[in-house]
Amino acid sequence: METIEKNQMQTAIMDSELSEQIKAATKDSHVRAENTELMLSYQRGRVSLQQYQLLLCSLYKIYEALEEALDTNASHDAVAPIYFPQELSRLESIGKDLEYFYGRSWREKMMISAAALRYAQRLREVGRDHPEYLVAHAYTRYLGDLSGGQVLGRITQKSLGLKSGEGLSFFSFPAVSSPNLFKQLYRSRMNSIELTEEQRSGVLQEAVTAFELNIQVFNELQDSLSCVSDTENEMRQRHTQHKQSTTA
């Protein structure tokens, strides 16, 4: 990055409010997240059923830990202003989607990546040791879901040929009538949180970590799928070789 741009970003980070600081601090991370293979599939307008199912499994574990940490710390000064369980909670919606795809025994059929478990572990640590950092995690997930996430929902529906709403609850926020207005409210609530300079810089650092944890989940998910397709290709090749040798 050019030095002038870097200086400008540092000035923006120092002078502005938390919502602007966090956006500036995670700008590069956002670009990196958008450029993961999984997100590129989305941007190409193509996502497979396996990709979506595995993503839902990981998201279940992530939101389970996030929402538990938020509930436990709901009255903490740095959490109360951004605590919107009715409008934002995702755990139940993801559960519904998993039931749609896997049936009633979805809990036993879920496949959870090590990266999702690490992310959930970090959320539990933050909830226990640094509740003031929860805003970084809530921002990264919920504001993302209300931004690019809305487009991802439409792509999922189209790619998988799902009927309106079926298996797509994760993307739907029935208690938020205007995502843009809600994001404005959320940012103003973030800006009302009182933080010491040390806490503020911890929150900004944690937001970068939150993006990094998401990137790791996406990468691991994609790697596991390419592993599956490599094995499938190998099996297909062996099958063809076997057929050739038996017909020769």
Chain contacts with ligand HEM (rule: CB under 6 A): 23, 30, 33-34, 39, 42-43, 139-140, 143-144, 147-148, 211, 214
Smallest gap from Cβ 56 to ligand HEM, in A, equals: 15
Distance of closest approach, residue 235 Cβ to ligand HEM, in angstroms: 32
Query: Given the complex with ligand HEM, which of 33 and 79 has the nearer CB atom?
Result: 33
Choose between 156 and 169: whose C-beta lies nearer to ligand HEM: 156
- Of 52, 57, 55, which Cα lies nearest the Cα of 157? 52
The answer to whether the Cα torsion of 165, 169, 174, 178 is positive or negative is: negative
Within 13 Å of residue 98, how many CA atoms lie on the same side as its CB?
A: 23
Nearer to ligand HEM, 153 or 202 (CB): 153
Smallest separation, CB 38 to ligand HEM (Å): 8
Burial, 123: exposed, middle or buried (Cβ in 10 Å; 0-12, 13-18, 19+)? buried
Minimum CB distance to ligand HEM smaller for 99 or for 219: 219
Residue nearest to ligand HEM (CB): 148
Give the long-range contacts of residues 50-54, CB within 8 A, separation 24 or more: 50/225, 50/228, 51/221, 51/222, 51/225, 52/156, 52/160, 52/167, 53/101, 53/102, 54/111, 54/113, 54/221, 54/224, 54/225
Smallest gap from Cβ 177 to ligand HEM, in A, equals 17
Q: How far is the CB of 66 from ligand HEM (least distance, A)?
A: 12
What's the CA gap between 26 and 73, in Å, rounded? 24
Nearer to ligand HEM, 23 or 118 (CB): 23
